[in-house]
Amino acid sequence: MADERIRILIADDHELFRRGLRMVLEDEPDIEVLGEAGDGQTAAELALEEIPDCVVMDVRMPVLSGIEATRKIKEDLPHCKILMLTISDEEDDLYQAIKAGANGYLLKEISIDEIGNAVRSVHSGQSLISPSMASKLLNEFASMIKKEEEKEQVPAPRLTPREMEVLQHVAQGMNNREIAKALFISENTVKNHVRNILEKLHLHSRMEAVVYAVREKLLEIK
């Protein structure tokens, strides 16, 4: 039904790619494209006007970068999902996107036909990252841990034992349904725990929670 469709915006400064992506996504029966933006500032303004469920966002854009636009959209619309779709395989862009609140980071090397499923996954609460970026992300985490160990640690916010269990499962890449099954609790209870964890740790996304879990050595890097 129309009211069950995922409402999205497309933000990319390359018009040909943007239009092609729109054509592909408009063929998906459960996705509605609300509009397009060719720069980050327009994307942030259009998001505030249209209130989308998800924004497919490029990293490198004029006026306002995709990362800055992501940060602004997350401030105005905390529940809006942001899927970064970019040619940038720079570790710093990946990390800054996660810090800004991005829910996924995919390289444009993926098939354009896979974008529909990517939008659905991010909309459902999953975090996505291109496989080729995974090792870079873990290397960045490892570097963060070493730097933190050299400095005096600030006491971490207190999480309940159950919240710690949920966080560990989130860090392993499990979705809410998988966590609920593993811990023998309802999916709604998992959602409540995740929300409480993010609030206590002052984080914006599950991906940031993974960063925290690695830094606090809740997730082992081999």
Q: Give the domain ranges of the chain.
A: 2-129, 137-215
Contact (Cβ atoms closer than 8 angstroms) between residue 74 and residue 44: no
Q: What DSSP line would sit under 111-162, residue for residue?
A: -GGGHHHHHHHHHTT--EE-HHHHHHHHHHHHHHHHHHHTSPPPPPPP--HH
Residues 6+ apart with CB under 8 A from 53: 6, 7, 8, 80, 81, 123
pLDDT of amino acid 221: 45
Contact (Cβ atoms closer than 8 angstroms) between residue 54 and residue 8: yes
Four-way CATH pick for 2-129: 1.10.1740.10, 3.40.50.11030, 3.30.413.10, 3.40.50.2300: 3.40.50.2300
Tens digit of each residue's pLDDT, the chain (222 residues): 445 899 999 999 999 999 999 999 999 999 999 999 999 999 999 999 999 999 999 999 999 999 999 999 999 999 999 999 999 888 788 888 988 999 999 998 888 778 899 999 999 988 888 777 766 666 666 666 666 665 545 555 678 889 988 988 887 778 898 899 999 999 999 999 999 988 888 888 888 877 777 777 665 544
Cα–Cα distance, 11 to 82 (Å, whole number): 11
- Give φ, ψ of 104 to 5 degrees: -160, 155
Helix (H) or strand (E) holding 167: helix 161-171
Planar angle of CA 137, 143, 148, nearest 5 degrees? 125
**CATH 1.10.10.10 matches 137-215:** yes
- Give φ, ψ of 77 to 5 degrees: -135, 75
